[in-house]
Structure 1
Amino acid sequence: MKGSYDYIVVGAGSAGAVLASRLSENPAVNVLLLEAGPKDNSFWIHLPIGYGKTMWSKKYNWCFHTEPDPGMNNRSIYWPRGKTLGGCSSINGLIYIRGQREDYDHWAELGNSGWSYDELLPYFIRSERNQRGASEYHGGDGPLSVSDIGDKNELIEAFISGAGESGVPRTDDFNGEKQEGAGYYQLTTWKGWRWSTAKGYLKPARNRSNLTVETNAQATGLILEGKRAVGVRYVQGGISHEARATGEVLLSAGALQSPQLLQLSGIGPAAVLQKFGIPVVHELPGVGENLQDHLQIRATYEATIPTTNDQLNSLIGQAKLGLQWLLHRSGPLAVGINQGGCFMKALPDEAKSPDIQFHVATLSADMAGGSVHPFSGFTLSVCQLRPESRGHAHIQSADPMVPPAMVPNYLSTDLDRRTAVASLRAARAIAESASMKPYVKREVKPGPDATTDEELLEFSRNHGATIFHPSGTCKMGVASDPMAVLDERLRVRGIEALRVIDCSSMPTLVSGNTNGPVVAMAEKAVDMILEDARKGSGSEDVSARHDPKTEPATTSV
């Protein structure tokens, strides 16, 4: 036994670090945070472009692979996932996107009260320290630092103008009144450094005596008494431990491992549990189902001007990049890979709001984090924002150290297949625009031989990959939905004192990158946890101290 705590948080990632920091603001509350990976003390974690290194690091990355996917010509797709303090926020592509108003209003329409855009916006604002300062849509003093890409780039400017020729207006804020537009991304960076939730939320809280952080501590299952969660089992240094929770257990292990832990603990689809001899404590058929992800399709081009490829392929170029970062905290090392983007409609007759997203990189490689090409290259990476395809994540062993089987079922619906083709045609239209054509020497992939819908779809099957947003496997929903794992307060249905707070909680995938939304969800979850605790104990209304509409973040950075 390692002791007793009010709250145990499993996973110190984008959500878990927020939960542990906020809950431990009350010195009367004891919090245990368990993280399966090590501390985030690698230089490559903190250097923005360093995720090209952590993308393949088995120390800081789970390095998962999906099962062979029929929709991808039976390819197994590499799925990196963060395994360190900060989780995926320590190894991701840094882009700060919230999604569309319609995403969250749809959650509320599904019966998840409290999750509309207007109700979640205050939590986005509370979490954010935007370089531009506070405004109607942005926070100025929150723990999560967000900054602009300072320098204009010739290629990005050409892309923005080319998108304009396709009817997409220029925008300077994808997270403002509307998402549609082309422009530069804002990043979770600050003065040339990555700003993960470990840095923004957890680091200022680490000296609190009521917060215990255990790294290299992999949870192996829940401790249940009847249908109440009372603790967590975990392994650290080869030794098994148990920790007890007098309040709640909060799972924030991510869309793959939160459902895995539930299934290992006897909570999930009976047939899956029985297959591995796990007694069914509570049958919840939706655990591990509803898996969604953004499929990334990369169109690569050789440029007529030098790009970041040339700098990275030259020792002198690398030295100049390093010097630019050392002296000014600027340049490619400070902004990662994708600088610009675009949200637009690939199927304008069907989509009510933007249905695809571009990530534009001033370099090119065969895959994200791969070695750059030997020529001057750039990438127009495009993904469908709201895929219909659904997969699952199921345990494939009773051994908690064996990863779950991940089955995304990419391109399994007609809409998803048509959107993939239309998105590549949209990329070509921008590349062939009057503004961008002078910068294009040749299309490398898909290449000029891919002209028909069938050929473009086949290219998508052969080369598509994740853009790192698996979600939905413990979705919240109404009681009448047999596949809903959580209620609207993120409590596991049928099990007391247990919540899931991470991307798996999303009923449908948001229209964009997922880190910002998960941080806001965790901020909201803290208020719900405190409010429910107050109602259960009759103590003071501590939730009033956390009103996002009236009070700035109490964890300053």
Structure 2
Amino acid sequence: MSLERVDLVDPTEVYDYIICGGGTSGCVIAGRLAEDLNVKILVLEAGPDNADLENVHMAGGWSKNFDSETDWNIVTEPMENIDNRKIKVSRGRFLGGSSGVNGTLCIRGTKQDYDDWGLDEWTGDKMFEYMKKAETFHEKDWHQADKSVHGTSGPLHTEPHDLAPISERVKESFIDQGLPYHPDMFSTGETSHGCGDVPRTVHQGIRSTAADFITKGYRRDNITIKTEVTVDRLILSRDSGELTATGVATISKAGKKVDYQASKEVIVSAGAYCSPPILMRSGLGPKEDLDKHGIECLIDLPGVGGNLMDHIICFIFYEVSKPQLTNDYLAYHDNALASTYALYQEKKTGLLSTFPFGIFGYARLDQRLQDSELWTSAPRDPGRDAMGLTPSQPNIEFLNTELYGGPMQYSDFPVDHKHAFAMCTLMFNQHSRGTVKLGSADPMQNPVVSHNYFAHPLDMLVMSEACRFANEIVMKGEGTKNVVKGSWPEHLTHHMYTKREDWEPHVREHATTCYHASGTCAMGLPSNPNAVLDSRLRVRGVGNLRVADVSSIPRLNNGHTQMVAYGIGEGAAEMIKEDARNGVLKLTAEVGKMAMG
């Protein structure tokens, strides 16, 4: 369905910069650009403001934001290698975006992850500095932080997480099973095999989100924020033969269609699922796909919507024999949740003041997979394993929950005074890639998403071995082996499995997304025909247009994507300011001609 423009442009609605998407990266960019009080910035967000969304600011209420208007409610296509299941890939649809519904985890990965992008503007050293810039870290006496890697003046407030008793026991089992403790390893990025504490985007019981960059103490008069406004498409014009972005066409929740003009740049920051559709509806994308929806292809960019990456995660549940090791008694037993909520309301403390993940670990799997012909015979580059990783990069991540819970389909809560937790395995650098495509030219319709999980056999090999290792940690580790009573619920865990192939059915049935979708408008060198952006986030062949969010990253980091989104936002803002100072408002004719062939 096409939407004809029926409303005139208000002459006051002209801005220097228009940012399409008030999520993590978009808010960071807006906040940093607004430091120059002479520029005028517009932030367009499809969802509502988050100021009055209690379950955003109360981290323990995260799941209440899903399956409603504050969720994009995107569901994947059936995927063959996970028993044709569809996966709900929830994303935050409000000011602050997924920074207001995620697990609050600050896991940066390693510097090598970003060096692997092969782009001088985005080295590991630079990305770690960008992530540091966004942060104000708050110490706790018990935590041994490396102060050199933490920021002290950013709008994003972080602090370590106080572990529940079950997490202390899992930590003991990690160490016992060969994963030594490095307290701040997930901030320094210097350990690929060990366990440590993870800072969270929570301070004094309140979740810190990207919206804080443009609200609260950082609200500036030169920022205009329009919520419940969906970006239909970019307004493009030709200047001396070169395509240039001059504004955006939008539709409000009430159905009003308004165009906004940008005198300097348009920045698309709608995320891995929603940035590609904005480009495609504007005639920028794979010509074959655009033709199907009657959209004129202005520039054939085959990489738009491709290269979709994610981290697959699998939950393995266990019932424990001793009470109050887990936090189930604070949430599910009797009328516990009411008193837990009252505690949060009064003091901003307790279970609801934080996210119920405990201790984390990284692991290399070289030795564990040395008996696999698939692993040993797989092609590899010098100094890298079969998954393309160096010894300084982990193959997998482990984490435990501090009570029963996880993806929405896990609903067998232990209301009968049982106690349970999950050991979770998360796989890095998967070989499989998915796609984001238009289902319709209608901007109010969600895109068609397929992650194509486990399409490559090495992905299943690594994930099944990771689950086997995780199970060994729980069942053999000194901290947990004597408190595990059995699986919880019984159909979710077969904890006596010893063979790698025995874990494959479990993985196929219970693997799910970790909400780290990325890569669908990837940066790349001029020699890469599938690169959508250059190394400064500029769309190939289009002046005054950038994409700046996790869709821009060419390869998913071996960590979580929250801090990457903040880093991309900080880096993008610096580049935009630099280009403005240098008078670089358009791509060179050479770059434009290269992109258009």
Q: Does TM, scored on the shorter chain, surpass 0.5?
A: yes
Q: Is contact 2:28–2:569 with CA below 8 Å preserved after alignment?
A: yes
Any idea what the Cα deviations from partners look like across 1:98-126, whole Å, max 9, x if unmatched? Answer: 11111011113xxx112111122221221
1:115 aligns with 2:122: yes
Matched-pair contact (CA < 8 Å) for 1:169–1:182: yes
Give the structure 2 partner of residue 536 of structure 1: 583
1:183-223 per-residue CA deviation (whole Å, 9 max, x = no partner) reads: 332100010011001124443333x2211100000001010
Amino acid at match of 2:76: T
2:394 to 347, 354, 358: 354
Deviation at 1:142? 1.0
What does 1:260-275 align with in structure 2 at a 5 Å threshold? 260-275=277-292
**Residue number in structure 2 paired with 1:24:** 34
Are residues 469 and 222 of structure 1, via their aligned partners in 2, closer, same or farther at CA, if it must alter by over 3 Å?
Answer: same
2:485 is equivalent to residue 441 of structure 1:
yes
Residue 310 of structure 2 is aligned to residue 293 of structure 1: yes
1:516 aligns with 2:563: yes
The answer on whether the counterparts of 1:69 and 1:75 sit within 8 Å (CA) in structure 2 is: yes
Residue of structure 2 aligned with 1:459, choices 476, 482, 506? 506
Residues 380-399 of structure 1 deviation map (CA, whole Å, 9 limit, x = unaligned): 11110211110110102111
Partners of 2:61 and 2:402 in 1: CA distance: 16
Determine if contact 1:134/1:140 at 8 Å carries over to the other structure.
no
Counterpart residue identity of residue 484, structure 2: V
Could you tell me which runs of 5 or more consecutive residues in structure 1 were left unpaired when the two chains were aligned: 539-557
1:172 to 183, 198, 206: 183
- In structure 2, what is the Cα distance between the partners aligned to 1:426 and 1:217? 47
Instruction: State whether residues 99 and 517 of structure 1, in contact with CA within 8 Å, keep that contact through their aligned partners in structure 2.
Output: no
Retained in 2: the 8 A contact 1:52–1:369? no
**Structure 2 equivalent of residue 486 of structure 1:** 533
Q: Equivalents in 2 of 1:63, 1:321: separation in Å?
A: 29
Q: Secondary structure at the match of 1:81?
A: coil
Q: Distance in 1 between matches of 2:404 and 2:538?
A: 43
How many residues end up aligned between the 2 structures? 532
Deviation at 1:159, TM superposition (A): 0.8
Match status 1:196 vs 2:188: no
Deviation at 1:301, TM superposition (A): 0.6
Question: Does structure 1 residue 103 correspond to structure 2 residue 150?
Answer: no
Confirm or deny that 1:238 pairs with 2:255: yes
**Is 2:547 aligned against 1:503?**
no
Aligned counterpart, 2:264: 247
Structure 1 194/366 Cα, relative in aligned 2: closer, same or farther at 3 Å?
Answer: closer
Give the structure 2 partner of residue 283 of structure 1: 300
Distance 1:537 1:89 in 2: 31
| CA separation of 1:134 and 1:128: change in aligned 2, threshold 3 A | farther
Counterpart residue identity of residue 300, structure 1: F
Give the counterpart letter for 1:102 in structure 2.
Answer: Q
Q: What is the CA deviation profile of residues 139-165 of structure 1, one whole-angstrom value per residue up to 9, with x for unaligned ones?
A: 112111111113x42211111111112
Counterpart-to-counterpart distance in 2, 1:97 and 1:484: 26
Q: Give the aligned partner of residue 33 of structure 1.
A: 43
Distance 2:581 2:231 in 1: 28
Q: 1:365, 1:48 → 2: CA distance?
A: 14
Change over 3 Å in CA distance of 1:338–1:134 after alignment to 2: closer
Q: Which amino acid aligns with 1:244?
A: Q
**Distance apart, 1:261 and its partner CA:** 0.6
Q: Secondary structure of the equivalent of 1:492? A: coil
Residues 91-490 of structure 1 aligned to structure 2 (within 5 Å): 91-108=101-118, 112-132=119-139, 135-150=147-162, 152-173=163-184, 174-176=186-188, 178-180=190-192, 181-206=194-219, 208-226=220-238, 227-236=243-252, 237-306=254-323, 307-326=326-345, 328-348=347-367, 350=385, 352=391, 353-365=393-405, 367-368=407-408, 370-371=410-411, 373-374=413-414, 375-432=418-475, 433-444=477-488, 445-448=492-495, 450-490=497-537
With the length of structure 1 as denominator, give the TM-score of the two structures.
0.92
Alpha-carbon distance between aligned partners in 2 of 1:83 and 1:210, rounded to the nearest angstrom: 24
Q: Name the TM-score, length of structure 2 as normaliser.
A: 0.86
Tell me the SS of whatever aligns to 2:121.
Answer: coil
Q: Partner of 2:266: helix, strand, or coil?
A: strand
TM-superposed CA distance for 1:511, in Å, is 1.0
In 1, Cα distance between equivalents of 2:409 and 2:398: 17
CA spacing shift, 1:360–1:449, aligned 2, 3 Å:
closer
Tell me, in whole angstroms, the C-alpha distance in 1 between the residues paired with 2:224 and 2:338.
Answer: 41
**1:438-485 Cα deviation digits (max 9, x unpaired):** 121113333147554333112111111111000000010001100100
Residue 6 (structure 1) aligned with residue 50 (structure 2): no
Aligned residues of 1:64 and 1:78 also touching (Cα < 8 A) = yes
**Which structure 2 segments of 5+ residues have no match?**
1-8, 140-144, 371-384, 586-597
CA contact (8 A) 2:247 2:266 kept: yes
Deviation, structure 1 residue 305: 2.1
CA distance in 1, matches of 2:204, 2:361: 25
For 1:301, give the aligned amino acid.
Y
Kept after mapping to 1: 8 A contact 2:468/2:497: no
Are residues 1:47 and 2:63 paired? no
1:4 & 1:323 partners in 2: Cα distance?
47
Alpha carbons 1:223, 1:229 under 8 Å: kept:
yes
Q: CA deviation at 1:55?
A: 2.9
User: Separation in 2 of the partners of 1:105 and 1:143?
Assistant: 26
Contact 1:144 1:201 in 2 (8 A): no
* Runs of 4+ that moved beyond 6 A: none
SS at match of 1:212: strand
Structure 2 Cα separation of the partners of residues 16 and 466 of structure 1: 23
1:430 is paired with a residue whose SS is helix
% identity of equivalent residues = 34
Question: Which shows bigger deviation, 522-531 or 453-462?
Answer: 453-462
Is the 1:396–1:405 contact (alpha carbons within 8 Å) kept by the matching residues of 2? yes
CA drift at 1:39: 0.8
